[in-house]
Amino acid sequence: MEAYLLDWVNLLLRWVHVITVIAWIGSSFYFVFLDNNLLKPNSPDLLEKGVDGAMWAVHGGGFYNPQKYMLAPKKIHTKLHWFYWESYASWISGFALFTVMYLWNASTYLIDKSLMDWSPAAAITAALGFFVAFWFVYDTVCRLFGFRKNGELIVATLMLCVVAFASWLACQLFAGRAAYLLVGAMIATAMSANVFVWIIPGQRKVIAAMTSGEKYDAMALAIHGKRGKQRSVHNTYFTLPVIFAMLSNHYSFLYTHPQRWLILFVMMFAGALIRQFFVQRHGFKLGRAANPWPFAAVGVVLIVGAIVAMAPQSAPPVSGSASSKPATFAEVKTVIDQHCLTCHGAQVQMKNVRLDSADSIKLHAQNVYQQVSVSKQMPMNNATGITEQERALVARWYLAGAKLD
């Protein structure tokens, strides 16, 4: 019953997390689009009000006229909307999902004993340490180098090195699936921390000073706007790498590859380059930036390179007739009893799947074939040591009709 309820919690949290992430990424992408498309107005009344950029847009049968003020307007006539709950809800729901799936079942999902044979408590502590350590390093690098000459290039170079090291280290310590997700969650934590620690508090300070009616130091307040813009831009470059890391746990050929850390880093780097293309292409159309096509080209080349490098090699022909001989149900049941009943037996039915009888094995035959022989995702982290010959045996049984005799 506990496993069944955890599956429902997992599903509902994943649903909420996807919804909130869509809202956060959507608003982030929209404001980047606005920054790249707002034009300096010529209208005297807009210039007098302090409007620095404006545009017209049409959507859903209505016309919209967004305007950007470099300084807070003298008076805000309607409700001021703050974009932060999208970020907070994304992180809270994501961390809750990570807790239910990986931390609660650390011995199953987080630990691969062939890599590191440690206790669940130690593995959980190390995983949480990734979140804290990455934010500390990233924030320190931004504060030390972010506003120097060529500061953004220095920050980008250093953080690429940090992410590469974190990807390698995570894949040395944790099960591949967990390592990929952990690196993505680590970066996502920094994204949400940017909003919580710097962007929103800085904006509140600026608005409080400008609407107080008292004299304020505009130069002193400018740092909040600069820092907020800096971290917001970083967040948009983090977006595609994080999404790739989150999606990757559905594709075992990625996180089971011998060079999985390098694949993770290359794909995330490609995502950041492609995002750079999308950020700059609007500015290029308006004559504000150089042609951004090289970023997209390099990103695509990296992805194609990963696909080619990971392509499976043709297996040598197997001697004898064993590879074509249909497997019997008795042989398959022996494999299932040895490798699957720990999680799908009478006591525990993960994913509401039970495989301790002939009828239940027949009922779930297709799922068993897909998970064991095709995707090779099960047993999780190959904790029970199933062999390639046993996976092939299950495939032969299923493809021959999954007979019980």
| Residue 401 φ/ψ region, left for φ over 0, alpha for ψ in the -120 to 50 degree band, beta for the rest | left
* pLDDT of 48 above 50: yes
Long-range contacts of 321-326 (CB under 8 A, 24+ apart): 323/392, 323/396, 324/396, 325/396, 326/396, 326/397, 326/400
pLDDT, tens digit (0-9, with 9 covering 90-100), for 310-337: 987 665 554 444 556 778 888 888 998 8
Which is more confidently placed, 200 or 290? 200
pLDDT at residue 287, rounded to an integer: 63
Confidence bin at 263 (pLDDT 50/70/90): very high
> Any residues with CB less than 8 A from the CB of 207 and at least 6 apart, and which?
72, 80
pLDDT at residue 40, rounded to an integer: 86
CA distances from 169 to 172, 174, 204, 363 (A): 5, 9, 38, 41
pLDDT at residue 256, rounded to an integer: 83
pLDDT at residue 193, rounded to an integer: 97
Asked if 344 and 338 count as a contact pair (C-beta separation under 8 A), the reply is no
Asked if 21 and 90 count as a contact pair (C-beta separation under 8 A), the reply is yes
Confidence bin at 286 (pLDDT 50/70/90): low
CA distance 93 to 254: 25
| Mean pLDDT calculated for residue range 193-205 | 92
Sign of torsion, CA 123 127 128 134?
A: positive
pLDDT at residue 39, rounded to an integer: 85
Q: Which of 227-241, 258-272, 297-311, 313-327 has the lowest mean pLDDT?
A: 313-327
The first and second tokens of residue 31, run together, are 């404001």
Helices of type H across 212-370:
218-247, 252-255, 260-285, 293-310, 329-339, 341-344, 358-363, 365-368
| Mean pLDDT calculated for residue range 13-36 | 89
| Mean pLDDT calculated for residue range 222-231 | 88
pLDDT, tens digit (0-9, with 9 covering 90-100), for 331-376: 888 998 888 888 888 777 776 788 888 888 888 888 888 888 887 8
Report DSSP state, residue 41.
-
